[in-house]
Amino acid sequence: MYIEQAAGRIDGLTLTGNHSGIYWDADHNGNFPSTLSNTEFRGTDCLKLINHPDLGGYGNTIGNNCSGRIWVENSDVNLSNLGDATGAHVLDLDASSVMHLHQPSNIDLSIANIPSGAIIDVAWDVTVWVVNNQSNGVPNAYANVSFTQFEPSVSEFTNDLGQVLLSDFIGQRWTNTGASAINDATVDCGYDSKSNSTSVSLDDDKIMYCRLELDNQPPFLYWTSPMDGEVFTSQGEVMFDAQESWDLDDDELTLTFTSSLDGVISSAIGTVPFSANDGVSGFALSDGIHDLTLEVCDNAGHCVSETRTIELTNLAPELNVSFEPALTQWNELIMTKTCTVTINTSGTLDPEGDEFACRITFGSYSRQAPAWDNQWSCPEHLTYTFDHFSDDPPA
């Protein structure tokens, strides 16, 4: 496969039969990036990359049927998960090329041709866990990861699991003089005035555990339902769900839900969700605007709370109709001077199941609308005949 003076994106390329592999010269008089991914390099010359200012890719393999080598000339190449089926293929760079290999597999860089000026970096991922005495991950803990060489330090706060995920950091650099020392990574972690540190050598993907001897901590409140500002139908069912709340010290939790209108709705050990106004649980909420407060306490006396506002109210009926003849896209009814219009109301409903009436009324139309018979009913079809055989209809 021969590509010349072009940037591009190649993914999942399959080459079969007898061939010389891929020759790709990206000298396109620009600075456009290219990608090459999920491809098995095969053939007598295997792969030759020339004049690539920025070539990335992932999931490539140097196959058994590659009888040549990987040539890189005047190029900056960044590949993730490059694998070698045999571990015996040569990476051959010229003095103007740089390769960055993220999570390579079975690549023997001791046989690579790396002239003066060329560089091959090998990079790995680091997963930092900040944990407490019970080996539980500590959310929102401080973590600073520093390196002995190649990389700047990184400061982040842990996620809800107590993790910091750091991807693609250089662990070793290869030049014409051989391999550098392995890069060391050190994490300094802290939370609630406690700190610690730990180090690893970055010669592969690493998981680092930074343990903090913390005092007993308040629980974490995670409240998924009801949402703040949510509106429910009159006497509608409301789900109370804070089951993702948890305690860093594995203490038993008590959840208390309180309403500004109805007082304590529920106070129970555990985080099992429940419903109010479901006719089964016995939990009830009045109609109106509620300020709901959830308090989560552990058995060590630590409590956290959150307040949300919801409303239970009688909602208006939901009108869903169609017309025959059909309305235009501007909601106009265009018909002949004499025509019967049918309105289909089959999709109309009341959220609470209350009785409601459906009738035809007119705005600026001069004729009398059909009278209401004072019946709370909604026929599936409402009809009205417009009869203008002797006069002009309204515009």
CA distances from 252 to 216, 220, 296 (A): 13, 12, 10
Q: What is the pLDDT of residue 141?
A: 98
Task: Indicate whether 220 belongs to any domain.
Answer: no
Task: Examine the domain organization and report whether 302 and 328 are in the same domain.
Answer: no
What is the three-class DSSP state of 220?
Answer: strand
Please give the span between the terminal C-alpha atoms of the chain, in angstroms, as a whole number.
69
Task: Examine the domain organization and report whether 18 and 71 are in the same domain.
Answer: yes
Task: Examine the domain organization and report whether 240 and 195 are in the same domain.
Answer: no
Task: Examine the domain organization and report whether 176 and 129 are in the same domain.
Answer: yes
Task: Indicate whether 225 belongs to any domain.
Answer: no
Task: Indicate whether 223 belongs to any domain.
Answer: no
Task: Examine the domain organization and report whether 347 and 361 are in the same domain.
Answer: yes
Per-residue pLDDT tens, the chain, 395 aa: give them: 999 999 999 999 999 999 999 999 998 777 889 999 999 999 999 999 999 999 999 999 999 999 999 999 999 999 999 999 999 999 999 999 999 999 999 999 999 999 999 999 999 999 999 999 999 999 999 999 999 999 999 999 999 999 999 999 999 999 999 999 999 999 999 999 999 999 999 999 999 999 999 999 999 999 999 999 999 998 999 999 999 999 999 999 999 999 999 999 999 999 999 999 998 999 999 999 999 999 999 999 999 999 999 999 988 888 889 999 998 988 888 888 788 889 998 888 888 788 888 888 887 777 778 888 888 888 899 888 888 776 666 65
Task: Examine the domain organization and report whether 248 and 200 are in the same domain.
Answer: no
Task: Indicate whether 165 belongs to any domain.
Answer: yes
Task: Indicate whether 218 belongs to any domain.
Answer: no
Rounded (5°) CA angle 11-15-82: 50
Task: Examine the domain organization and report whether 207 and 149 are in the same domain.
Answer: yes
Residue 384 DSSP class: E
Report the distance separating Cα 36 and Cα 49, nearest Å. 11
Task: Examine the domain organization and report whether 101 and 129 are in the same domain.
Answer: no
Of 176, 211, 246, the residue that ends a domain is 211
What residue numbers bound the domain in which 263 lies? 231-313
Task: Indicate whether 216 belongs to any domain.
Answer: no
Task: Indicate whether 201 belongs to any domain.
Answer: yes
Kindly report whether the peptide bond that precedes residue 104 is cis, defined as omega within 30 degrees of 0.
Answer: no
Those residues with Cβ within 8 angstroms of residue 71's Cβ, 6 or more apart along the chain or in another chain: 45, 46, 47, 48, 49, 50, 92
Q: pTM of the entire structure?
A: 0.78
Of 117, 152, 179, the residue that ends a domain is 117
Report the distance separating Cα 263 and Cα 188, nearest Å. 46
What is the three-class DSSP state of 109?
Answer: helix
Query: Which is nearest to 186 in space by CA: 158, 215, 146?
Result: 146
Report the distance separating Cα 170 and Cα 150, nearest Å. 7
Q: How many domains does the chain have?
A: 4
Task: Indicate whether 53 belongs to any domain.
Answer: yes
Task: Examine the domain organization and report whether 241 and 266 are in the same domain.
Answer: yes
Q: What is the pLDDT of residue 104?
A: 98
Task: Examine the domain organization and report whether 297 and 320 are in the same domain.
Answer: no
Of 183, 211, 239, the residue that ends a domain is 211
